[in-house]
Amino acid sequence: MYKVIEKIGDMNVYQYDYDYFDADTNENKQSFITFVDFNEVPENYKEDFSKWLYGQTMPMIPGLERNAVYSWDWERYYKMKTRGTPTYFD
């Protein structure tokens, strides 16, 4: 259903492929989304990352319920934390 395509800070980044109907062109199409599984976030980041995510949109990935996070959100957060850039809650 989804596959690992890269790693960001030891976190697997997954790709989820899906089909959709484009009403503008009247065609069936395919696309994908990249995400990380919140369950895999290292314990030392979970609480802060969870606070940082508050109010963010999150993808709905079958089988993960509310545990998928867009890969670009993890990447932005991880880079800020590992480079010492303050996030809004620091």
The pLDDT tens digits of the residues spanning 44-85 come to 999 999 998 988 899 999 999 889 999 999 999 998 888 877
The pLDDT score that the predictor gives to residue 89 is 55
The pLDDT score that the predictor gives to residue 65 is 82
Q: How far apart, in whole angstroms, are the C-alpha atoms of residue 38 and residue 46?
A: 8
Q: Is residue 14 part of a domain?
A: yes
Q: Is residue 76 part of a domain?
A: yes
The structural domain count of the chain equals 1
State what percent of residues in the chain have pLDDT above 70: 94
Q: How far apart, in whole angstroms, are the C-alpha atoms of residue 89 and residue 35?
A: 23
Residue 87's CB is within 10 A of a number of other CB atoms, namely: 13
Torsion angle of C-alpha atoms 15, 19, 21, 25, degrees rounded to 10: 70
Strands 27-37 and 11-22, by their bridges, are antiparallel
pTM: 0.84
Determine the structural domain holding residue 48 and report its residue range.
2-82
